[in-house]
Structure 1
Amino acid sequence: MHKAAALSFASIAIISGGLISCGNNTDQVQVATGSVAAESAAKTAQSYSKARAYEAQGRSKKAAKLYDKIASDYPMSKEAPDSRLREAQIYYETGELIDSFEKYQLFIEHYTNHSKYSEAIERQAEVANAASTGKIKNNFLGLKSEIARSKVETMFTQVRDNAPYGKTAPIAQFRIGEMWQNDEDYNKAIQAYEDLYVKYPKHSLAPEAMYRVGDLLLKQSQDGNRNRGNLDTAETTFTDLTLLYPNSKQAKLAKQQLKNIAQSDISRSFSIAEFYEQKNQDKAALFYYNEVISKTKPGSEIYTRAQQRISALKN
């Protein structure tokens, strides 16, 4: 069923992960209280400095492993948040996008009140976008392959759900639709675009998403999936677009599409009338010629032709 007629914001649960206590038993108690032992604080500071030095030397892999150890073993230390961010960035720069995405996710889940939380949300969205357009490293040999589209969709969905009312959410939703459209999986693309303008009807991408739904439905009605239902739904979508976003450039395009659909309907009716006339089914032919008359202006070429055929069949 077409969704544009009843737009509403969807309620999306915000996932917030709990802090994970790791390391030895002494530190576990102190992590729970929001602090680390003095000995552990000195250790994490030393490890962080060492990881930074590895980065400066171009030894990214060793730096990433050390950053991971800091963030995993001492998540409440002052170095942990930056360690997780640095680790995620290293994986991004080396093309290991899935690892980068997952490390940003760990930061987002554990440090919601951190000053760099919004930055992490945006950087994770960049990673998902990169994953949708390029190749990634997927094993220890550094070999590259295309990432599965279902995985990319999961990444964009995570970006959207991490901050469902933030600026990255509707963009991520649009990218899901665009990704499936580029892959010519039009049913999935239509669903993703519909979800965007239903959940984010006031976003600047909503008119474009709605136009693309209509355009893809129209394409399906013209290509292999020839059925009147797709054409009718496309027409409804374009009509809704002109009503909901009358001042958008997409509304102007939708009006042109509606004219094209109307003209196509008239031509189709005339062709059906000719078919029935050739079969000597005059009653059916007259019905469709009269339909052409009802949809066209007097004096137009097709109106005149239909009128002539009606007169001939009645005589």
Structure 2
Amino acid sequence: AELAEKKGKYKKALGLYRKIQKKSVNLKNKGKALVKQGNCLGQMEEPWKAFGKYREAVDEYRSHIAFSEVLEAEFELSKQFGHKKQRDRFLFVTFSTEDKAVDILDHIVTVGPYSKVAPKAMHRVGIIRIAQEDYESAIMRFRRLLKQYPRHALAADGRLDLARALLLEAEAGDGDGTLVREARASLDRFIESYPEHARFDEAKALVLNAESMEATRLLDLAQFYLREAHYRPAAAKQYLSEIVMHYPGSGTAGLAQIMLNSLERHQTNLEKN
């Protein structure tokens, strides 16, 4: 079997490794045969089937195989599933092949949370979920990454990507500003901790984005309290003042100042009369 594999006859080697797996009573040999089947299937450009063999080897024979090497092999397989759609010929549904990558990466994190490759797997799932616009899931992954691996080399990227996912999620609605505030806190910590990081300029740009979003939220609140049905000029004035004071560089600061001046003139006229 190994000779056939070395010669590149992967289909033949696959069949021989299957026989070894079925007939051997030695657990180490059975586990190794499964891993070898995965290797052959990978060479045959069958990454999902290869993962099936690796998963079986890990789940059934973990203590009898080169565990960390198999997890590394799983991680490499996950890279073969790009952002494209496939149709299931039995269920007649369309799915993203990246979902298969997520299944592989989640398996790595589940069975080997303290393995060398686990932080990379968790981070990549977050990136995939951002690409799929599943920001809530991405946020969950990045938070978990920072909690479980705070000193890992990917912690910096995880912190920045958490902020990015939070701001993207906030675009759909952030009533009390919780998401933007968490994003800003994450960005501030990134900027303070990693001034030489390659993505430092990206962090600064995200800060401006966060400030713009918060200023817009405050402006919406001010406008709400200037409506006749909800008229509370003191509340509106407070929100407009916050924009002018804390976000002078935002695109809404100029409008906020105009509205604030108008509101103050109106109040002055009322007092005179």
User: Shorter-chain TM-score: what band?
Assistant: 0.7 to 0.9
Partner of 2:162 in structure 1?
A: 213
Deviates more, 1:104-113 or 1:179-188: 104-113
1:216-252 Cα offsets, whole Å, 9 max, x none, are 2322332xx32414x4223223314534773224677
Q: Secondary structure of the residue that 1:238 maps to in structure 2?
A: helix
1:183-218 Cα offsets, whole Å, 9 max, x none, are 222222222222222222222223323333332232
2:108 to 150, 159, 180: 159
Distance 1:290 1:133, change over 3 A: closer
Quote the Cα distance in structure 2 between the aligned partners of 1:208 and 1:92: 30
Q: Write the mapping of 1:55-70 to structure 2, written as runs, cut at 5 A.
A: 55=5, 58-70=8-20
Q: Write the mapping of 1:126-137 to structure 2, written as runs, cut at 5 A.
A: 126-131=76-81
Partner of 1:296 in structure 2?
A: 244
CA contact (8 A) 1:75 1:81 kept: no
CA contact (8 A) 1:239 1:258 kept: no
1:285 to 233, 241, 246: 233
CA contact (8 A) 1:270 1:289 kept: no
1:312 to 253, 262, 265: 265
Distance 1:66 1:245, change over 3 A: farther
Distance 1:192 1:294, change over 3 A: closer
| RMSD of aligned Cα (Å) | 3.8
**Structure with the greater relative contact order (CA < 8 A, sep ≥ 6): 1 or 2?**
1
Q: C-alpha displacement at 1:167, in angstroms?
A: 1.4
2:118 to 164, 169, 178: 169
Quote the Cα distance in structure 1 between the aligned partners of 2:145 and 2:187: 14
Q: Write the mapping of 1:178-197 to structure 2, written as runs, cut at 5 A.
A: 178-197=127-146
Partner of 1:232 in structure 2?
A: 178
Distance 1:134 1:171, change over 3 A: farther
Quote the Cα distance in structure 1 between the aligned partners of 2:261 and 2:215: 16
1:37-89 Cα offsets, whole Å, 9 max, x none, are xxxxxxxxxxxxxx244446654223201112113321528765554333211
Q: Secondary structure of the residue that 1:67 maps to in structure 2?
A: helix
Instruction: Tell me the TM-score normalised to structure 2 length.
Output: 0.72
Q: Write the mapping of 1:63-82 to structure 2, written as runs, cut at 5 A.
A: 63-76=13-26, 82=32
Partner of 1:17 in structure 2?
A: none
Count of residues in correspondence between the two structures: 253
Q: Secondary structure of the residue that 1:165 maps to in structure 2?
A: coil
Letter of the 1:179 partner, please give it: I
Letter of the 1:159 partner, please give it: I
CA contact (8 A) 2:142 2:158 kept: yes
CA contact (8 A) 2:163 2:187 kept: no
Q: Secondary structure of the residue that 1:228 maps to in structure 2?
A: coil
Distance 1:63 1:206, change over 3 A: same
Instruction: Tell me the TM-score normalised to structure 1 length.
Output: 0.64
1:265-293 Cα offsets, whole Å, 9 max, x none, are 44554565467657497x62343234322
- 2:46 maps to 1:96: yes
Distance 1:74 1:254, change over 3 A: same
Structure 1: runs of 5+ lacking an equivalent: 1-50, 140-144
Q: C-alpha displacement at 1:168, in angstroms?
A: 0.7
Q: Determine what percentage of the aligned residue pairs are the same residue.
A: 21
Distance 1:257 1:65, change over 3 A: same
CA contact (8 A) 2:122 2:141 kept: yes
Quote the Cα distance in structure 2 between the aligned partners of 1:106 and 1:278: 63
CA contact (8 A) 1:180 1:186 kept: yes
- 2:24 maps to 1:84: no
- 2:200 maps to 1:200: no
Q: Write the mapping of 1:14-163 to structure 2, written as runs, cut at 5 A.
A: 51-55=1-5, 58-76=8-26, 82-108=32-58, 109-110=60-61, 112=63, 114=65, 116-131=66-81, 150-163=99-112
Quote the Cα distance in structure 1 between the aligned partners of 2:30 and 2:223: 76
Distance 1:174 1:190, change over 3 A: same
CA contact (8 A) 2:83 2:96 kept: no
